[in-house]
């Protein structure tokens, strides 16, 4: 222990005489005589000092009889019993102390005031909160000696934490915790990219849908404007419907012959068979003739709607089989004329 006493007068021993020295003296026994000390005199419980005492700091738990001059502070605890004349710079008296003495308080700790004695039946008492019982007496003595004089009577004068201090770390912690919150924006970037991709795919889908719609209305197939990795709907077949085999052959022959004639007729234009509008009309007429001849031989009926064919609009020219099929039932086609 750092504040261990230098001299201990045990409870069973008696010192009679003059005690002079320095340091800390703990009296648990009895001292009858004068004590001149440059330090702290602790009269512990059960201790008795009968004589004059002159020390820097006097802490009384037991009993003192005689004159006491405390250069710095005289501290009287609740179990103390004092009688005599006391002179001190600072005085602390706890509730419960028994005092029958005259007390004089000096302005400084240098010496006694000349001719000034306050004779009172009881010393002025200023209550002070008791320290913790577990606190060592020596700790109390040293703390009291080190504490500067102040109207406050609290032993421990550690600064109390302010209200804001404990909250600051939590605030900072909250800030630190809140800091990661913006990071989810980093997460959004991949979402953003995925959205962009989805947007692109959506536009492609729209284009394909439009193309399909156009092809469905026009009867032509158009290749999709953009080919994406995303799955595409099945392409629209070149021919909306497969023609019948027999009629298909006749139509193909008609188309072949038609392809030759328009090529010769329209050689200047250089148009293909597919795009020439008047060509299908001539093809139809020739096809009718051939069929009529064939029908006589093969009992194939003429398309009754030759006029309808001739009057067919260019929009309706492509699906020749369809128009023929629509005009004549399937049974009649094979039945013959």
Partner 1 sequence: MSETIIGKTLVIEGEVSGTEPLIVLGTVKGKINLKNSVSITEEGCLEAGVEASTLDVAGVVRGNVRVSELLEIKPGGRMEGDIAAPRVLIADGALYKGNIDMDTTSDR
Residues that bind partner 1 (CB under 8 A): 5-23, 25, 28-29, 33
Question: Which DSSP state fits 212?
Answer: H
Angstrom distance (rounded) from CA 289 to CA 226 = 46
Of 33 and 243, nearer to partner 1 (C-beta) is: 33
Of 33 and 84, nearer to partner 1 (C-beta) is: 33
* Entry field: residues in the chain: 337
Residue 26 C-beta: closest distance to partner 1, Å: 9
3 state SS of 307: helix
Beta bridge partners of 45: none
Provide the H-helix boundaries in 78-159: 137-146
Of 22 and 109, nearer to partner 1 (C-beta) is: 22
| Cα 146–chain centre separation | 49
Supply the Cα-derived Rg of the chain in whole angstroms: 62
Residue 49 C-beta: closest distance to partner 1, Å: 13
Angstrom distance (rounded) from CA 279 to CA 9 = 141
Residue 21 C-beta: closest distance to partner 1, Å: 3
Of 17 and 329, nearer to partner 1 (C-beta) is: 17
Beta bridge partners of 162: none
Residue 39 C-beta: closest distance to partner 1, Å: 9
Of the candidates 91, 85, 11, 78, the one whose C-alpha atom is nearest the C-alpha of residue 46 is 11
Of 35 and 279, nearer to partner 1 (C-beta) is: 35
Residue 81 C-beta: closest distance to partner 1, Å: 22
Instruction: Return the biggest CA–CA distance within the chain.
Output: 167
Of 22 and 142, nearer to partner 1 (C-beta) is: 22
Residue 126 C-beta: closest distance to partner 1, Å: 33
Angstrom distance (rounded) from CA 232 to CA 236 = 11
Element (H, E) at 323: helix 320-327
Residue 9 C-beta: closest distance to partner 1, Å: 5
Of 46 and 219, nearer to partner 1 (C-beta) is: 46
Q: Strands 48-50, 98-105: parallel, antiparallel or unpaired by DSSP?
A: unpaired
Residue 132 C-beta: closest distance to partner 1, Å: 24
Residue 37 C-beta: closest distance to partner 1, Å: 9
Cβ within 8 Å of residue 261, ≥6 positions away: 279, 282, 283
Of 71 and 291, nearer to partner 1 (C-beta) is: 71
Q: Count Cα atoms within 13 angstroms, Cβ side, for 118.
A: 13
Question: Would residue 39 be called left, alpha or beta, if left means φ above 0 and alpha means ψ between -120 and 50 degrees?
Answer: left
Of 50 and 316, nearer to partner 1 (C-beta) is: 50
Helix pair angle (245-265, 320-327), 10° resolution: 130
């Amino acid at each position: 222990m750092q504040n261990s006493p230098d001299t201990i007068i045990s409870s069973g021993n008696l010192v009679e005489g003059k005690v002079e020295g320095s340091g800390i003296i703990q009296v648990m026994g009895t001292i009858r005589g004068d004590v001149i000390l440059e330090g702290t005199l602790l009269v512990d419980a059960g201790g008795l000092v009968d004589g004059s005492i002159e020390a820097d700091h006097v802490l009384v738990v037991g009993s003192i009889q005689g004159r006491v001059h405390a250069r710095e502070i005289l501290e009287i605890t609740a179990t103390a019993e004092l009688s005599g004349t006391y002179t001190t710079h600072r005085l602390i008296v706890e509730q419960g102390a028994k005092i029958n003495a005259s007390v004089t308080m000096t302005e400084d700790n240098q010496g006694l005031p000349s001719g000034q004695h306050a004779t009172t039946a009881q010393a002025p008492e200023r209550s002070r909160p008791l320290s913790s019982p577990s606190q060592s007496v020596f700790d109390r003595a040293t703390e009291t000696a080190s504490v500067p004089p102040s109207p406050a009577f609290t032993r421990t004068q550690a600064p109390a934490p302010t209200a804001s201090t404990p909250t600051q770390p939590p605030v900072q912690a909250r800030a630190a915790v809140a800091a990661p919150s913006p990071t989810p924006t980093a997460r959004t970037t991949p979402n953003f990219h995925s959205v962009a991709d989805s947007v692109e795919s959506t536009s492609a889908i729209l284009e394909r849908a439009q193309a399909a719609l156009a092809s469905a209305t026009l009867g032509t197939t158009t290749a999709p404007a953009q080919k994406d990795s995303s799955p595409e709907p099945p392409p629209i077949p070149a021919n909306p419907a497969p023609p019948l085999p027999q009629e298909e052959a006749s139509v193909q022959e008609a188309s072949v012959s038609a392809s030759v004639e328009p090529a010769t007729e329209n050689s200047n234009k250089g148009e293909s068979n597919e795009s020439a509008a008047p060509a299908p009309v001539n093809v139809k007429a020739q096809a009718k003739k051939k069929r009529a001849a064939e029908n006589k031989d093969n009992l194939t009926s003429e398309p009754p709607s030759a006029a309808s064919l001739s009057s067919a609009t260019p929009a309706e020219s492509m699906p020749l089989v369809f128009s023929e099929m629509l005009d004549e039932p399937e049974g009649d086609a094979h039945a013959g004329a």
